A = this chain, B = another copy of it.
Amino acid sequence: MRIGIDAMGGDHAPEVEVKGALAAKELLGKDDRIVLVGQEPAVRQQLAQEKGWEDFIEIRHAEQVIRMDDPPVESLRTKPDSSVAVLAQMHRDREIDACISAGNTGAFVAAAQMRLRRLQGVHRPGIAVVAPTWRGPVAICDVGANVSCRPQHLYQYGLMASAYLSKICGVEKPRVGLLSVGEEDGKGNELVKGTRELMKADPNVNFIGNVEGRDLFKGVCDVMVADGFTGNVILKLMEGMAEGIIRALVTEMAQTMPTQVNEIKLAAKNIARKYDFNEYGGAPLLGVDGICIICHGASDFRGIKNAVRAAMDFSKCHLNDRITQLLSEGERIANG
């Protein structure tokens, strides 16, 4: 398997990407390769002190770089030789079997959507993030690929994220909840109401009904389906809140227990780790005819390494075949 990594993407590129690629060595089989895509001199400089990398790492030069705050679609047009555009093109041409980027998420998603086809039957690809909660992981889909959703899109997110959780994480019949403003059938906006009917009609979706924001922390569902706008908002909210509340608690406790500051900080660190996206394998863009793994911009090398693992798992369990199969079964049911 050949896995392409956008070497210029993240906040600490290319250092983190190169270190992540090196750390991923232990995951690779003897025929597996990692292709670092980006400005070759910068990448080579990071590799200068390393030995033996030529056995499993290749470099593909790409002259341009899309920054975090560049407008996604426009940048892809003005920077056709950017690392992320080259990465997507290589995947389309099957020079690589998967691609990973910690860069501008909008640009990566747009590049994937423009270069790769959708899987048969998919209306809109969606990003699935596995959110750590103290009751276990919950996959939220979509968290930002599609901010103008229709019921059909959300229904497919439920189906695709279920396939992901059961194939990759081994969760049997994942319980799918639909994010809304109340649990009762009648609550929600038109999008939610329309989605409910589609979810209920497909026996391949283990649909448990509407869930609310607070249910994310109650262990009531394994998959939480949301439109990309709401999903993106809550993902960022959780990130900011976890960080802030832990800091507030440490400050408060350090005042009442000044002699225990080290222990307090250690406990906080342990909790923070449970919320650390680097421990997770990146977020797949589900529904494209390929394997695209999105990493957080602030990823460290573990985040990149875990994304490599995620890409390999994705490939090994033939997730896209399963998604196509489920969608075609769903369509058959819908058409009576």
Chain A window 227-250, contacts with chain B (Cβ cutoff 8 Å), 1 for yes, 0 for no: 011101111111111111111110
Any B CB within 8 A of the CB of A213: yes
A184 within 8 A of B: yes
Using CB atoms, name the residue of chain B closest to A240: B214
Interface members, chain A 248-273 (any B CB < 8 Å)? 248-249, 252-253, 255-257, 260, 263-264, 266-268, 270-271
By the criterion CB–CB under 8 Å, are B256 and A257 in contact? Answer: no
User: Measured between alpha carbons, how far is A255 from B263 in the docked complex, in Å?
Assistant: 10
- In the assembled complex, the Cα of A268 lies from the Cα of B264 at a distance in Å of 12
Complex formed: what's the CA distance from A252 to B267 in Å? 6
Contact, CB under 8 Å: B264 / A248: no
Complex: how many Å from CA A255 to CA B264? 11
Shortest Cβ gap from A11 to chain B (Å):
15
The distance in angstroms between the C-alpha atoms of A188 and B144, with both chains bound, is 10
- With a 10 A CB-CB cut-off, give which of A144, A189, A253, A260 has the most chain B CB atoms: A253
Query: A249 contacts B271, CB within 8 Å?
Result: yes
The reply on A53 being an interface residue by CB < 8 A is: no
Residues of B within 8 A of A182 (CB): 106
Asked if A26 is at the interface (CB within 8 A of a chain B CB), the reply is no
Residues A244 and B147 in contact, CB atoms below 8 Å apart: no
CB distance from A252 to the nearest CB of B (A): 5
Q: Which of A170-219 contact B (CB under 8 A)?
A: 179-182, 184, 186-190, 212-218
A133 beta carbon closer than 8 Å to chain B: yes
Q: Is the CB of B237 within 8 A of A238?
A: yes
- Tell me if A335 is interfacial: C-beta within 8 Å of chain B: no
Residue A69 at the chain B interface, CB threshold 8 Å: yes
Q: How far is the CA of A180 from the CA of B106 in the complex (A)?
A: 14
Instruction: State whether the Cβ of A78 lies closer than 8 Å to any Cβ in chain B.
Output: no
Given contacts A230-B233, A260-B257, contact A268 B240 (CB under 8 A): no
Within 8 A of B (CB), among A142-187: 144, 147-148, 179-182, 184, 186-187
- Cα of A240 to Cα of B134 in the assembled complex, Å: 11
Contacting residue for A253 out of B214, B244, B253, CB 8 A: B253
A136 close to chain B: CB less than 8 A: no
The reply to whether A249 and B237 form a contact with Cβ atoms under 8 Å apart is: no
Query: Whole-angstrom distance between the alpha carbons of A244 and B213 in the complex?
Result: 13
Q: Which residues of B contact A147 (CB under 8 A)?
A: 181, 188-189
Using known A-B contacts A233-B179, A257-B260, A271-B252, determine if residue A242 contacts B241 with beta carbons closer than 8 Å: yes
Determine whether A94 belongs to the interface, using a CB cutoff of 8 Å to chain B.
no
- The distance from the CB of A170 to the nearest CB of chain B, in whole angstroms, is 24
Residues of B within 8 Å of A260, CB to CB, are: 257, 260
Closest 9 CB pairs of A and B: A214-B240, A213-B237, A213-B236, A253-B267, A217-B244, A181-B232, A147-B189, A217-B240, A214-B236
Given contacts A134-B244, A245-B245, A257-B260, 17 further A-B contacts (CB under 8 A): A71-B186, A134-B245, A181-B232, A212-B236, A213-B238, A213-B239, A213-B240, A218-B240, A230-B230, A233-B233, A241-B241, A245-B246, A246-B249, A249-B267, A252-B271, A253-B263, A257-B264
